[in-house]
Amino acid sequence: MAIYVDGDTQVLVQGITGKQGSFHAGQMLAYGTKVVAGVSPGKGGQKVHDIPVYDTVQAACAEHSIHASIIFVPAAFAKDAALEAFHSGIKLVAVITEHIPVHDAMEIMAQAKIHGATVVGPNTYGLVSSGLCKIGIMPNNFFKPGKIGVVARSGTLSYEIVGNLLEAGYGTSTVVGLGGDRIVGLSFVDVLQEFEKDAETEAIVMVGEIGGNAEEEAAEFIKSSMDTPVVAYLAGKSAPEGKRMGHAGAIIERGKGTFASKESALKNAGVPVADLPFEVPKLLEEILTGRRGK
Amino acid sequence: MAIYVDGDTQVLVQGITGKQGSFHAGQMLAYGTKVVAGVSPGKGGQKVHDIPVYDTVQAACAEHSIHASIIFVPAAFAKDAALEAFHSGIKLVAVITEHIPVHDAMEIMAQAKIHGATVVGPNTYGLVSSGLCKIGIMPNNFFKPGKIGVVARSGTLSYEIVGNLLEAGYGTSTVVGLGGDRIVGLSFVDVLQEFEKDAETEAIVMVGEIGGNAEEEAAEFIKSSMDTPVVAYLAGKSAPEGKRMGHAGAIIERGKGTFASKESALKNAGVPVADLPFEVPKLLEEILTGRRGK
Amino acid sequence: MKYFEYMGKSLFKEYGIPVPDGAVAETPDEAAEITKKLGSAVIKSQVLTGGRGKAGGVKFADSPEEAGKAAEELLGQEIKGYKVERVLVEEKLNIEKELYLAITIDSTKKSPVLIASTKGGMDIEEVPEEYIVKKNIDVLTGMEPFVIREIVSELGFDFKAETSKQFMKIVSKLYQAFRALDAELMEINPLVIADGQVIAADAKVTIDDCARYRQKDLPYVEEKTVIEKKAAELGLAYVELEGDIAVMANGAGMSMATLDILQYYGGKPANFLDAGGGAGSETMARAIELLLEKKPRVIFINIFGGITRCDDVANAITQVLGQQKIEIPVVIRLVGTNEEEGRRILEAQSLSAYNLMHEAAQKAVELARK
Amino acid sequence: MKYFEYMGKSLFKEYGIPVPDGAVAETPDEAAEITKKLGSAVIKSQVLTGGRGKAGGVKFADSPEEAGKAAEELLGQEIKGYKVERVLVEEKLNIEKELYLAITIDSTKKSPVLIASTKGGMDIEEVPEEYIVKKNIDVLTGMEPFVIREIVSELGFDFKAETSKQFMKIVSKLYQAFRALDAELMEINPLVIADGQVIAADAKVTIDDCARYRQKDLPYVEEKTVIEKKAAELGLAYVELEGDIAVMANGAGMSMATLDILQYYGGKPANFLDAGGGAGSETMARAIELLLEKKPRVIFINIFGGITRCDDVANAITQVLGQQKIEIPVVIRLVGTNEEEGRRILEAQSLSAYNLMHEAAQKAVELARK
């Protein structure tokens, strides 16, 4: 089992004829994802990796049953692409595009709510239910089936953690990248909630970073409502205060969203926090052994 | 029983300090409607017929449990008043105001859909579940409890029909005024659907008029999905083609929405159509007798 | 409020929708003058009705002289009952293709709807369904780019064609104008492709009367008769008819039913007058005076008071009757809100009112026959 | 991008939000000149940081001479590390009341949020909760009039007061500006009532960098160091730090973790550089050249390829090393998308790459100590 997507999920690629879109459509196919169609206005009728390309999402949906979409179009057109997907009734939309204006992101989220759609990202590597379906840009070889759920804000850092897990013999159930922007569709709490319901996810690794208060909210949720054990890693311990470290969300302001506040909230919720990425498997081992011992 | 509103419905009056608002708040109270609060920006703290007045719907909702609102504010402010009601979670909003720009009406309806609210009107006399709750501007004395449901586009014409029914000994369950504008919240089909579910509505009188295709749609619905008998009266038989008769909806264009097309659609659906308003009770009598005879 | 073609085109131009070169003329000389710059020209009668081409309201000219002559023929003519007071003189277009494009209000879906077709130039209802694209627009988000792409795709246009790009821009701008100007209808038929350019060769624009208060910059077009205009100034809906029984009722439906019932009994209504919407007694008094202007044989007042109060109506009647001597019979039917008070006011002036509409109507028809 | 107060106020003025009379000065003479018209004046240092009042960055003057003197004292001073290059010279306001008003982005609710308080003038975090009104705004419908009325009602303002009406207008216009200009923050603290007028006495405006492509009319403010600016031109996020290990990683989280791990092992990173987001090899080569500008002791490249491809990274490294002689050690960690090809490219140039991040980091720290 897995959350959000599984082996039956049929996927559309918006922006499939672009450099990133075509490359990753191929990678997703190679992973085993059912990429059934692509969209690129003006390129309708072409094929990319043998995937049929349509001019509009509407046209693609008329020919295929599509459950999820992944968006690669440039920032200036990403909002429109997302709305297009919502209007055609697609209920899961992963927005890979980065540098989307924050006002556009707010509109995307407001529209998603009206249409009952789930947005992963923007500025995310996507999500993958290991061995079943990858909707994203993560390297294929690290995502092997297993019982550990992973949810992270940052992309490469998740790969790092997932790589360490794999090294230690842990496969993953589903790995979700929330996205690095200030406004993203899913929160840690949203994803933890799903994992909690997923019988086959035995433990969860949460990869947070400084800025915002999503980790603190997650800590509260874990404390009040979760049974599945959670282990965390937090990036940004060494970041000097007030310096912006690339993500809009990673601004340390007014003493909120600091490493210390996140670490203490999580520890307070019984979540072990790793000092370094490669320590995560060890903490996981400890917490799972403890559980099994009970 | 009744549809939409009953004896427990607690009502807010938006624009309660205006001439129409205060007069009809009093009339509604006199009818027995639970008018619990009024809103008039800048008049918060006052009382009208002993009803407390608030500056905002939000403030009124903080003090009272409000199920429905009736709007009397001028056309230029009506959209804002409706959105205000929706945002405070009010699920039934009757908009009495006429001459609301059609673009505003479209926005009201789009917002109502998002908020899951039902809009009666605009340009309606409202609705009344006889003897239980009147949310509207119809004269009190004609609406006595009974088993006939009435749904109409036009106001005074409904009173005429309801008066004729009363004269003939028929009380009404619920009487709904759809409103005379081109864009209104409820269609004949919406209301017929509710009546069909209402065990105590024995028969329905539908009062249509030329223009639009709502009567034709109703005929189709009656034919396919209704068991409760329906009698109709249609206004506008004598209207010269192409002349606008007051309602934006009552423009005869392109041969659609004519008296003839409506009459034949209804008759085809087994609905008796009265030539004159005062003939409605007779047709009702016939259809009910026929039923009872079965 | 309907606009003349030349006004619609001037609005289009303002919003960046290409229209043919040209100008409006009220005299043959003006038409000739305009044609000097254009070389050859199309001379189009400006009337608030369709089908003007078939009615001979459009002429062509290859010189200023011909243009003057054409204008002379058209100006002053009547087309479907509308007098031609102006002609639009425009460049002749080298038309390759005629499209249809319109945005209007969809009452059923409660949203703006765009209608487009590759078969322009004819009545949209005669175009087979499969050539028509209908697209409801979310009024809250508007004409998003993806919606325009869907339209282009459904029409089967080539995305890369320069004319497709122009078409997309026109769709976007037309919707912008439609929303910004509170339009009920904006129709371009035909939208032509001429020398690689997409151009609005015609313009039908109707603006929502209810929005006039916030569209103060828009021109006002008089479609009404003198009496209709006076009624409009009072905020009342009035339509002139051919009969001899002047009618005042309240509510559009009720007013229509009143005409129906008069006709049913063999009477001929002189007008439709909806005094609904809570008009006060002063306004209603003015309305009754209006009724008298057409010199009817009978006045029939049919009021079922809701938001309209019977006492206001009674006051209006007694006020008019007190001020001027009225030779014709006035049949009154008065029930509803504040009915008792209304009757009391009438009785104080020795007037009486019917209870039942059909009885009153029968009486009015009977009196009109005398 | 943060704006100076004077720039924020000029935007406010454009959108119809009242601001004090005044102008910006770069010299004491200019400050004196402006004060001639104002009579007496406030002289405010223009720096991109808060708390300038407490730091002595605001002075008062009752004559042009005093204003010149005040400006002389302020110009060139440093406030919290920011050099004062301009002062804003403004009329003194006869302040009756100080309010707080701001609109910013609420990440949790994913919508704009308005924050208002009757206790303005101080840090909003020090104002007790009960004096703060927070209102999330529906980004699709905007600042509807009823929302403004709710704000006024929640603040306990008198609806009929003239200042309430002015406040309502300011709220509407501030939101309009916030949306139209792609702002991340628009803060007025204090929003003052002076002589019955509601006036923005300060202005903090931050514009979304991602929206610069569609906000071409807005001024550009340089907040970055020379190297940061060069990185920004490459589309990369770069922050200067104090250490000696130059770092390039991909992804903000990964880049932060890279700094964390270096520090964990006792190393000192010289910078933060996120080469993520699918930058090509050309861009990455430029980025590596940037790292060299700060003359670090070691270069540490830590790449986990996702959208970034390892072959692009390898090509970038070999390209730079092929073009210039680099005296310092380069520690590379390279895994992920197209890893094999990347390693092959490196090996062809006799370079090797680590597999594990912490081993690579330890090596980099070790080399930096030598």
Catalytic residue among A24, A99, A103, A247: A247
Residue A5 lies in a domain: no
Query: CA C170 to CA C160: how far, in whole Å?
Result: 16
Preceding amide of C20 cis, omega within 30: no
Q: What range defines the domain where residue C87 resides?
A: 21-91
Residue B127 lies in a domain: no
Query: CA B41 to CA B35: how far, in whole Å?
Result: 18
Any chain B CB within 8 A of the CB of D160?
Answer: yes
Taking a C-beta distance cutoff of 8 angstroms, is the pair D368, D270 a contact?
no
- Whether B113 and B157 map to the same domain: the answer is no
- Whether B257 and B162 map to the same domain: the answer is yes
Query: CA B178 to CA B163: how far, in whole Å?
Result: 18
- Whether D43 and D153 map to the same domain: the answer is no
Q: Which helix (H) or strand (E) holds C316?
A: helix C310-323
- Whether D65 and D116 map to the same domain: the answer is no
Strand partners, D198: D193
- Whether D284 and D347 map to the same domain: the answer is yes
Residue that finishes a domain, picked among A91, A120, A149: A120
Chain B residues within an 8 Å CB radius of C357: 160, 277-278
Residue that finishes a domain, picked among D74, D91, D108: D91
CB contact under 8 A, C260 and B213: no
Any chain A CB within 8 A of the CB of D239?
Answer: yes
Residue B132 lies in a domain: no
- Whether A266 and A192 map to the same domain: the answer is yes
Strand, coil or helix: D259:
helix
Residue A127 lies in a domain: no
Chain C interface mutation, best of A77, A80, A93, A114, highest count of C Cβ atoms under 10 Å: A80
- Whether D125 and D63 map to the same domain: the answer is no
Any chain A CB within 8 A of the CB of C162?
Answer: no
| CATH code of the domain containing A276 | 3.40.50.261
Chain B residues within an 8 Å CB radius of D149: 41, 55-56, 84
Chain D residues within an 8 Å CB radius of A139: 304-306, 335-337, 339
Any chain B CB within 8 A of the CB of D156?
Answer: no
| CATH code of the domain containing D284 | 3.40.50.261
| CATH code of the domain containing D134 | 3.30.470.20
Residue D196 lies in a domain: yes
CB contact under 8 A, A83 and C159: no
**For chain B, how many structural domains are there in total?**
2
pLDDT in tens, C245-283: 999 998 888 899 999 999 999 999 999 998 876 678 888
Query: CA B91 to CA C90: how far, in whole Å?
Result: 54
| CATH code of the domain containing A53 | 3.40.50.720
Q: Where are the beta strands (DSSP E) in B210-293?
A: 230-235, 273-274
Chain D residues within an 8 Å CB radius of C141: 140
Strand, coil or helix: D17:
coil
- Whether D257 and D364 map to the same domain: the answer is yes
Query: CA A87 to CA A85: how far, in whole Å?
Result: 6
How many beta-carbon contacts under 8 Å exist across A and D? 179
The tens-digit pLDDT sequence of chain B (294 residues) is: 689 999 999 999 999 999 999 999 999 999 999 999 999 999 999 999 999 999 999 999 999 999 999 999 999 999 999 999 999 999 999 999 989 999 999 999 999 999 999 999 999 999 999 999 999 999 898 999 999 999 999 888 899 999 999 999 999 999 999 998 889 999 999 999 999 999 999 999 999 998 888 999 999 999 999 999 999 999 989 887 665 554 433 433 445 678 999 999 999 999 999 999 999 999 999 999 987 765
Beta pairing, strands A68-71 & D237-240:
unpaired
Taking a C-beta distance cutoff of 8 angstroms, is the pair A245, A134 a contact?
no
Chain D interface mutation, best of A99, A160, A206, A254, highest count of D Cβ atoms under 10 Å: A160
- Whether C31 and C54 map to the same domain: the answer is yes
Residue B129 lies in a domain: no
Global confidence as pTM: 0.91
Strand partners, B13: B38, B70
- Whether B174 and B111 map to the same domain: the answer is no
**Residue A82: closest CA among A198, A199, A179, A175:** A179
| Min distance C140 CA to chain D CA atoms (Å) | 7
Q: What is the mean pLDDT of residues D291-317?
A: 90
| Min distance A189 CA to chain D CA atoms (Å) | 11
| Min distance B83 CA to chain C CA atoms (Å) | 13
Strand partners, D363: none
The Cβ-side half-sphere exposure at A28, using a 13 Å CA radius, reads 36
Catalytic amino acids of C? 100, 187
- Whether D84 and D43 map to the same domain: the answer is yes
State the pLDDT at residue D52.
85
Residue A235 lies in a domain: yes
Residue B131 lies in a domain: no
Question: What is this model's ipTM?
Answer: 0.90
State the pLDDT at residue A206.
97
User: Which residue among D182, D250, D335 sits closest to A101, beta carbon to beta carbon?
Assistant: D182
**For chain C, how many structural domains are there in total?**
3
- Whether B64 and B157 map to the same domain: the answer is no
DSSP D106: E
The first and second tokens of residue B108, run together, are 């009201």
State the pLDDT at residue C162.
96
Taking a C-beta distance cutoff of 8 angstroms, is the pair D252, A212 a contact?
no
Which residues have C-beta within 8 Å of that of residue C316, sequence separation ≥ 6? C281, C282, C283, C284, C285, C287, C288
Residue that finishes a domain, picked among D177, D211, D245: D211
Q: What is the dihedral of CA C40, C43, C44, C46, to 10 degrees?
A: 130
- Whether D279 and D293 map to the same domain: the answer is yes
CB contact under 8 A, A56 and C141: no
**Class of residue C164 by CB neighbours under 10 A (exposed 0-12, middle 13-18, buried 19+):** middle
In order, the DSSP letters of D308-329 are S-HHHHHHHHHHHHHHS---S-
Residue D13 lies in a domain: no
- Whether B164 and B115 map to the same domain: the answer is no
Which C residues, 114 through 173, put their C-beta within 8 Å of a C-beta on chain D?
140-141
Q: What range defines the domain where residue B210 resides?
A: 138-292
- Whether A288 and A143 map to the same domain: the answer is yes
- Whether D251 and D351 map to the same domain: the answer is yes
Strand, coil or helix: A159:
helix
- Whether D132 and D26 map to the same domain: the answer is no
Q: How many other β-carbons are positioned within 10 Å of the β-carbon of residue D321? A: 16
- Whether A192 and A246 map to the same domain: the answer is yes
| Min distance C73 CA to chain B CA atoms (Å) | 28
Which residues have C-beta within 8 Å of that of residue C121, sequence separation ≥ 6? C98, C100, C189, C190
Query: CA C281 to CA A78: how far, in whole Å?
Result: 59
The first and second tokens of residue A78, run together, are 């990403």
Q: What is the mean pLDDT of residues A138-150?
A: 94
- Whether D154 and D200 map to the same domain: the answer is yes
Residue A133 lies in a domain: no
Catalytic residue among B24, B87, B115, B247: B247
Residue that finishes a domain, picked among B66, B92, B120: B120
Residue that finishes a domain, picked among B120, B146, B173: B120
| Min distance B125 CA to chain C CA atoms (Å) | 8
Q: What percent of chain A lies above the pLDDT cut of 70? A: 94
- Whether D243 and D271 map to the same domain: the answer is yes
Cα–Cα–Cα angle for C125, C126, C127, rounded to 5 degrees: 90
Q: In what order do the strands lie in the sheet with A47-48?
A: A47-48, A51-54, A34-39, A10-14, A68-71, A92-95, A118-120
Taking a C-beta distance cutoff of 8 angstroms, is the pair C293, C263 a contact?
no
- Whether B176 and B286 map to the same domain: the answer is yes
User: Which residue among A137, A238, A239 sits closest to D307, beta carbon to beta carbon?
Assistant: A137
- Whether A98 and A158 map to the same domain: the answer is no
| Amino acid making up residue D108 | T
Any chain A CB within 8 A of the CB of D208?
Answer: yes
Q: Cα–chain-centroid distance for residue C193?
A: 29
Strand partners, A209: A235
- Whether A176 and A80 map to the same domain: the answer is no
Any chain B CB within 8 A of the CB of D159?
Answer: yes
pLDDT in tens, A261-281: 999 999 999 999 999 999 999
- Whether B156 and B270 map to the same domain: the answer is yes
Taking a C-beta distance cutoff of 8 angstroms, is the pair A54, A60 a contact?
yes
